[in-house]
Structure formats: C-alpha cells, structure tokens
Amino acid sequence: MEHNKNGLPVVGISIGDLNGIGPEVILKTFTDQRLLKFVIPVIYASHQVISFYRKRLDIENFNYHQAKNLDEINPKKVNVIGCWDKEVEIKPGEINNDGGKYAAISLIKAASDLKAGQIQALITAPIHKKNIQSEDFNFPGHTEFLTKYFDAEETLMTLISEKLRVGVVTGHIPLKNVADNITKDRLGKKIGVMEKSLMSDFGIQKPKIAVLGLNPHAGDDGLLGNEEERVISPVVEEFKKSGKLIFGPFSADGFFGALNYQKYDGVLAMYHDQGLIPFKTLSFQNGVNYTVGLPVIRTSPDHGTAHGIAGKGIADETSFREAVLLAVGIINQRIGMDSATQLSF
C-alpha cells in the first residue's frame, strides 16, 4: 500500500490484553498531537474499550474517530476500528479469558489488513502469553504467530534502541532446548536476515555484526562446551570469506561489560535472556521489539502486559511511542525518505 493520499503512512495498532497496560500506553502516546504529522494511526479494538480507559485515566486531550473499516478513516485523527460489538467487562489488572480472547481478535483483524496491504505497518500492544492461547492462537508469542501468518522463511526477534540492536537466534523456548536449536543452517539464516534488515531498514551499507558465544567464555576453546568450535565459528568464518563484516563468537559477559557493543551495528545473541537482559538494562524505557525477516513491518514495545500496574495511570508510554516512530521510520527508509529528519520533533 502506498502512503495515504495526504502523504502519510497508515499503521495499525492491535490493542493487546484489555486488562493490561496496552490501552493506557496507546492512549498516552497519541495525546501528543505531533505524531499525527507523521502517521495515520488505526487502533483495532472497540469504542467501549477506548472510552473506558480515557475516562478511567482522565485523559482529556485524546480525540479519536470511529470507523467501520479503513475506507472511513480520518487522516487527521486517531482512528478506532470496531472489531467486536459485544460489551466486554474490563477488569484492569486481572488476568482472565476475555483479556486474551479480544487481544487475539484485534491482532488477527489487524494482521489480515496488513496482509491485504491496507495498512503499512503493525504495532502490537502486549499480550499475555497464557490467556491468549486458543484454537485461533496457539503460539508462544507475536513473533511466532506472525512468522506463520505471513509465511516467512526466517524471522529474528530484534530489540532496537539508540544504543543497541540485538537479535536472538532462539526465542521463546526453554533454556534446556537452546543448544539443540543452534545449528549452522539456522545461525546462517539469522545472520543473513539481520544483515539484510540493517541495510534495507536502517540504511547501513555494510553492516558490522557481532555474534555471541553460547557457553561461558565462549566455550574456552572447547573446555566449557563445543558449540562455538563446532557450529558458531565455522558459520562466522564462512561469512568472513564472502567479505561480510561478521565477527565472533564473543564471550557475552565481557562483550557487554567492556561496552564492545558500541562498535557494532548489530549483535546476535544465542538465546532470549543472553540478549534481552543487557538490552533491557541499557534501554528498558525506550527499547522496541522489531520482527526482522517478515515481508511486512511489525514493531512493539519491549515490555509486557504489566497487569500489576494496569489501570492506575502510571504506565510509561515511551517504549510504545518509540515503536510507532520506528515503524514509520522503517516505512520511510524503504521508500527512500530520510527517516531521521522526518521523525524529529
């Protein structure tokens, strides 16, 4: 889909768990009217949900336009497309079936419009990974669902901030299964999609990527494990032979402790916590989750549903706002616009 006729991209926003902080951070984000200079937002939810949280949180400067479909959206306002007519009992802070049910309805409708080319990007508010499970959604998280929904050959969960870009070879799987899931083929594909994204989505002509080891001290020459010598190093060497700037494997603790991540355009970690603990330590409030490798653009905040603070008006919207800005920046980068100047407030 091209930009809207007024020159702005249209992005869809799935509401996430109705009882988590998703609705709050969405509303807080779009109280800043300056965002409407860059994007036409479309929230997939219901008038009832938006009205409930606007009143509960006493958010006065949030105005929106109700639309039945994308043909009816207002390019100068935040738009809400009704995905269900039923009145839903909203219980902020409670983890229940309704929270998961309507999160899935919102996500599937938004993903459908994204697949049809009617919106240009999707920003997903947080879901609760257990209560969303159903016949319609049987996946560990957004990344796995979207990978299958869009028939992507390979995707990479990547966390983005001004300080760091880190992807994970294995995502939402038990730690005991990590080593078996790190193969030469998978590692090569993950490096490939990261490099391609750094070029096409971030305008880096020859990306420099650091690959972390799996074991402590990157295996200590086989003393603490052989995955580095058997799998990781050979893949890195193959990329080097083809002229790629791929380096490693590095010992993860020393790599981050010595601030070596600052020397690279991207970092590839072997498993979830190896990459996300340092990332969230450095960039928790403004980090963004970006699904690299999809044929479409999807971003999300780097936090969860935070039911413990839902409905209290204290959730920080910074990460969600950055997710919106990153999505728009990638859209603009792909069509040759200068995203840095486009999105400067």
According to the model, what pLDDT value does residue 236 have? Answer: 98
* Segment 42-98, tens digit of pLDDT: 999 999 999 999 999 999 889 999 999 999 999 999 999 999 999 999 999 999 999
What pLDDT does 219 receive? 87
User: Is residue 209 classed as helix, strand or coil in its secondary structure?
Assistant: strand
- Structurally, at CATH architecture level, domain 1-152+294-345 sits in 3-Layer(aba) Sandwich (3.40)
Residue 142: alpha-carbon gap to chain centroid: 9
Residue 189 to residue 325: CA distance in whole angstroms: 27
Backbone dihedral region of 7: left (phi > 0), alpha (psi from -120 to 50 degrees) or beta? left
**pLDDT at residue 3, rounded to an integer:** 53
Distance CA 82, CA 310 (A): 22
State the DSSP H helix or E strand holding residue 212, giving kind and residue range, or none if neither.
Answer: strand 208-212
Rounded to whole angstroms, how far apart are CA atoms 52 and 186?
Answer: 45
| Token pair in block for residue 243 | 């002229």
Per DSSP, what are the bridge partners of residue 292? Answer: 156
**H helix intervals, 32-87:** 47-56
* Rounded-to-integer distance, Cα 107 and Cα 146, Å: 10
User: Strand (E) positions, 64-137?
Assistant: 64-67, 78-82, 121-124
Which residues on neighbouring strands pair with residue 36, listed in sequence order? none
> Residue 214: what are its φ and ψ, rounded to 5°?
-90, -45
Question: Which residues share a beta bridge with 78?
Answer: 64
d(C-alpha 345, C-alpha 259), whole Å:
29
pLDDT, position 322? 96
* Residue 64 DSSP SS3: strand
Report pLDDT for 336. Answer: 82
**Dihedral pair phi/psi, residue 173, rounded to 5°:** -135, 155
Domain 155-293, what architecture?
Answer: 3-Layer(aba) Sandwich (3.40)
With a CB cutoff of 8 Å and minimum separation 6, the contacts of 40 are 4, 6, 8, 9, 10, 11, 73, 75, 79
pLDDT tens digit string along 226-266? Answer: 999 999 999 999 999 999 999 999 999 999 999 999 999 99
Do domains 1-152+294-345 and 155-293 share one topology? The answer is yes
Which residues of the chain are under the pLDDT cut of 70? 1-6, 337-345
| Tokens of residue 284, six digits | 């928790």
Residue in 82, 21, 87 with CA at minimum distance from that of residue 56: 21
Domain boundaries, the chain: 1-152+294-345, 155-293
Residue 7 has what pLDDT? Answer: 81
